[in-house]
């Protein structure tokens, strides 16, 4: 029946999405990539490795990563530090009661 774990299925799905976005960007122009809780079913080491790939792709594509898990922010920050990707700008926002608020960013090289 279902031979893949949900984590493996998410990884394959994410790889296909990234491949399609990169190919389209090569032919036309880079697409924004929307991701929703993509790290949830990954084990901790794969979460950080995937965050590395997301950060690297964000140098060419605008990426929106939505999550209801506060740990996602920590995973992204851990990947930036671990893989020496501090130069890649990232901004974190929170939506509460219909209001979008910037919670932290390093768009200008400073953490807020």
99/9 Cα distance (integer angstroms): 33
Q: Decide if 1 is inside a domain.
A: no
Q: Decide if 53 is inside a domain.
A: yes
Q: Decide if 81 is inside a domain.
A: yes
Residue with tokens 């530090």: 81
Q: How many domains, in total, are found in the chain?
A: 1
Cα 83 from chain centre? 14
Q: What is the pLDDT of residues 19-78, one digit of tens each?
A: 999 999 999 999 899 999 999 999 999 999 999 999 999 999 999 999 999 999 999 999
What's the pLDDT score for residue 110? 47
110/87 Cα distance (integer angstroms): 10
- pTM of the shown model: 0.85
Q: Decide if 110 is inside a domain.
A: no
Q: Decide if 88 is inside a domain.
A: yes
Q: Decide if 112 is inside a domain.
A: no
Q: Decide if 111 is inside a domain.
A: no
Q: Decide if 13 is inside a domain.
A: yes
Domain hosting 32: range is 6-105
């Amino acid at each position: 029946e279902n031979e893949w774990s949900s984590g493996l299925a998410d990884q394959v799905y994410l790889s296909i999405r990234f491949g399609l976005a990169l190919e389209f960007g090569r032919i036309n122009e880079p697409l924004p990539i929307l991701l929703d809780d993509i790290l949830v079913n990954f084990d901790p080491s794969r979460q950080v490795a995937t965050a590395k790939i997301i950060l690297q792709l964000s140098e060419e594509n605008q990426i929106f990563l939505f999550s209801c898990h506060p740990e996602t922010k920590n995973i992204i920050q851990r990947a930036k530090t671990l893989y020496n990707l501090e130069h890649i700008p990232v901004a974190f926002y929170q939506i509460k009661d219909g209001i979008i608020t910037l919670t932290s960013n390093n768009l200008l090289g400073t953490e807020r």
